């Protein structure tokens, strides 16, 4: 676990957890859960500033979740890995930061 | 007839019976749009190569111009050598014949595949292109963010083509037991498809072939077994029009005017499904953006006369 948060400072991480909570509470929450299950969930121990492992599929992001998270510049994306929310550099395939256990 | 001539003809007939010419079910009409569809292809395994050879064989009788790829174009490593083994070699005869490939991204694909020129993605995760009276929309279903939804809504609204065809990786409908459909994606995409007159949707992800009976007027195909296969994974339901889960497959399509002819072929050259979808007159109105909201369901209706022959 990194000792220094580059993006998800504690107060930012708390806000993200709140937003994820809202997305998971919409009437179609079962749809979000189902989508997560159907998206070939991966279990990995990721580290900030390390690459996302080559050859391991990227789990697709439920659209409802993406609708509730802040917009990112095109070179970054959100990914769910296990229960973590990961911020990834799409060009360099680098883990920029993550929120452990962000997903309920 | 001399005995030797008779013997030669008998042997030739026997050889033909063992390895018959591909049985084409498509009408080959002049100026039609002709393409092939593959999904979950990039294994680099023998079966992918077999299916590639069968595509080339059929192209001898049905000269298609391009291939759409439904994602998982590359499993495992994605080095230059992987691109060679899992894409360039199995489809070499097609690439040599200048057949263009248009890829959508799957969950096993490195998103940087969009910069690989033979995939014709123009560096974009999602994009569209036209061919004849059809327009194709390749979507990134791994990451359906608001920007992509806005883009899709706008492009579909502005499209004036008769046939609007979307292709992406995760199926909105499927009766395969391993994954099943993606209900969250369906909730967002289906209303857009309905309101903008999308006629046909292709997806992969499930390693089977399944044609779904029209849902809210839209025809859904799942084709995720061009390289991968999940043997006997299909649990057909009342909504399954046709399924095939015992070998690899690809699909050939011909669009001629208001008719969409399709033929799905196994790795061994067996036709596993074929038919024609016909755009109704109301659908023509929908495509030109003139439909009335009260006729939405009718507008999206496509009479499906598949399989029983035409």
At residue B235, does pLDDT exceed 80? yes
d(CA B230, CA B244): 10
Q: A38 — contact with chain B (CB < 8 Å)? A: yes
The pLDDT value recorded for residue A59 is 85
Whether residue A48 is contained in a domain is answered as yes
Number of domains chain A is built from: 1
Q: How many CB atoms lie within 10 A of CB B276?
A: 20
Q: Which of B278, B271, B221 is nearest to B249 (CA)?
A: B271
Q: A60 — contact with chain B (CB < 8 Å)? A: yes
Q: What is the mean pLDDT of residues A62-90?
A: 91
Contacting residues for A54 by C-beta, under 8 A, at least 6 apart: A93, B77, B78, B110
Whether residue A16 is contained in a domain is answered as yes
Contacting residues for B164 by C-beta, under 8 A, at least 6 apart: B134, B135, B137, B156, B196, B197, B198, B199, B287
Whether residue A74 is contained in a domain is answered as yes
Q: Using an 8 Å CB-CB cutoff, list chain B residues near A40.
A: 107, 179
Residue of A nearest to B178 (CA): A38
The pLDDT value recorded for residue A27 is 64
At residue B4, does pLDDT exceed 60? no
Q: What is the mean pLDDT of residues B150-158?
A: 97
| Total beta-carbon pairs less than 8 A apart between chain A and chain B | 75
| Confidence bin at B19 (pLDDT 50/70/90) | low
The pLDDT value recorded for residue B15 is 45
d(CA B53, CA B67): 14
Contact A35 B184 (CB under 8 A): yes
Q: A61 — contact with chain B (CB < 8 Å)? A: yes
Whether residue A67 is contained in a domain is answered as yes
Q: What is the pLDDT of residues B93-134, one digit of tens each?
A: 999 999 999 999 999 999 889 999 999 999 999 999 999 999
pTM over cut 0.90: no
Please state which of the ranges A63-67, A90-94, B114-118, B297-301 shows the lowest mean pLDDT: B297-301
The pLDDT value recorded for residue A82 is 87
Residue of B nearest to A91 (CA): B112
At residue B8, does pLDDT exceed 70? no
Whether residue A81 is contained in a domain is answered as yes
The pLDDT value recorded for residue B33 is 98
Instruction: Name the one residue in this structure whose structure tokens are 């057909």.
Output: B236
The pLDDT value recorded for residue B5 is 52
Q: How many CB atoms lie within 10 A of CB A30?
A: 10
Mutate to test the interface with A, among B71, B115, B184 (most CBs of A within 10 A): B184
Provide the chain B residues 110-129 that lie in CB contact (below 8 A) with chain A. 110-112
At residue B261, does pLDDT exceed 50? yes
| Confidence bin at B279 (pLDDT 50/70/90) | confident
Whether residue A1 is contained in a domain is answered as no
Residue of A nearest to B111 (CA): A90
Strands B249-256 and B259-266: antiparallel
Q: A39 — contact with chain B (CB < 8 Å)? A: yes
| Confidence bin at B304 (pLDDT 50/70/90) | very low
Q: Using an 8 Å CB-CB cutoff, list chain B residues near A90.
A: 111-112
Given its phi and psi angles, is residue B123 left (phi above 0), alpha (psi -120 to 50 degrees) or beta?
A: left
Select the residue of B146, B170, B181 nearest A60 (Cβ to Cβ).
B170
The pLDDT value recorded for residue B193 is 97
Please state which of the ranges B7-16, B70-79, B139-148, B284-293 shows the lowest mean pLDDT: B284-293
Q: Residue B297, CB half-sphere, CA atoms under 13 Å: how many?
A: 3
Q: Using an 8 Å CB-CB cutoff, list chain A residues near B149.
A: 63
ipTM: 0.87
Strands B200-203 and B163-167: parallel
Q: What is the mean pLDDT of residues A36-57?
A: 83
Collapsing DSSP to helix, strand or coil, A64 comes out as helix
- Identify the domain containing residue A86 by its residue range: 10-99
Collapsing DSSP to helix, strand or coil, B122 comes out as coil
Measured in Å, how far apart are chain B's first and last C-alpha atoms? 40
Strands B271-279 and A76-81: unpaired
Whether residue A56 is contained in a domain is answered as yes
Residue of B nearest to A61 (CA): B143
Q: What angle do CA B63, B208, B196 make, to 5 degrees?
A: 70
Q: What is the pLDDT of residues B138-150, one digit of tens each?
A: 999 999 999 999 9
At residue B301, does pLDDT exceed 50? no
The pair of structure tokens assigned to B222 is 């799942």
- The CATH number of residue A24's host domain is 3.10.450.160
| Confidence bin at A4 (pLDDT 50/70/90) | low
Whether residue A4 is contained in a domain is answered as no
Q: What is the mean pLDDT of residues B63-70?
A: 98
Task: Give the residues across from A85 on adjacent strands.
Answer: A80, A99
């Amino acid at each position: 676990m990194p000792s220094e948060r580059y993006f998800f400072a504690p107060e930012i991480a708390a806000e993200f957890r709140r937003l994820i909570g809202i997305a998971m509470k919409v009437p179609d929450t079962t749809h979000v859960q189902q989508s997560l299950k159907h998206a070939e969930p991966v279990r990995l121990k990721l580290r900030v500033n390390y690459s996302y492992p080559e050859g391991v599929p990227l789990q697709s992001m439920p659209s409802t979740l993406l609708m509730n998270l802040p917009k990112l510049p095109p070179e970054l994306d959100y990914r769910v890995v296990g229960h973590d929310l990961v911020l990834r550099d799409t060009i360099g395939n680098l883990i920029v930061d993550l929120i452990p256990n962000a997903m309920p | 007839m001399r005995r030797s001539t008779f013997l030669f003809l008998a042997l030739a007939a026997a050889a033909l019976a063992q390895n018959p010419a591909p049985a084409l079910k498509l009408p080959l009409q002049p100026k039609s749009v002709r393409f092939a569809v593959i999904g979950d292809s990039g294994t680099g395994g023998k079966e992918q190569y077999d299916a590639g050879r069968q595509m080339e064989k059929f192209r001898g009788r049905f000269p298609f111009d391009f291939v759409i790829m439904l994602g998982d174009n590359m499993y495992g490593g994605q080095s230059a050598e992987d691109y060679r083994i899992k894409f360039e070699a199995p489809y070499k005869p097609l690439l040599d014949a200048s057949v263009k490939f248009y890829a959508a991204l799957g969950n096993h694909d490195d998103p940087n595949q969009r910069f690989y020129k033979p995939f014709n993605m123009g560096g974009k995760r999602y994009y569209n292109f036209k061919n004849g009276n059809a327009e194709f929309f390749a979507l990134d279903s791994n990451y359906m963010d608001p920007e992509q939804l806005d883009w899709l809504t706008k492009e579909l609204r502005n499209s004036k083509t008769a046939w609007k065809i979307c292709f992406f990786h995760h199926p909105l409908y499927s009766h395969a037991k391993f994954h099943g459909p993606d209900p969250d994606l369906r909730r967002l995409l289906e209303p857009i498809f309905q309101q903008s007159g999308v006629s046909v949707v292709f997806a992969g992800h499930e390693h089977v072939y399944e044609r779904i009976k029209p849902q809210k007027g839209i025809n859904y195909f799942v084709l995720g077994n061009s390289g991968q296969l999940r043997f006997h994974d299909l649990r057909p339901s009342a909504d399954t029009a046709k399924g095939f889960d015992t070998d690899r497959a690809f699909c050939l399509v011909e669009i001629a005017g208001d008719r969409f002819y399709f033929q799905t072929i196994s790795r061994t050259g067996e036709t596993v499904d074929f038919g024609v979808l016909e755009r109704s007159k109301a659908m023509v109105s929908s495509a030109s953006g003139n439909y009335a909201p009260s006729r939405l369901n009718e507008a999206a209706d496509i009479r499906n006369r598949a399989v029983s022959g035409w």
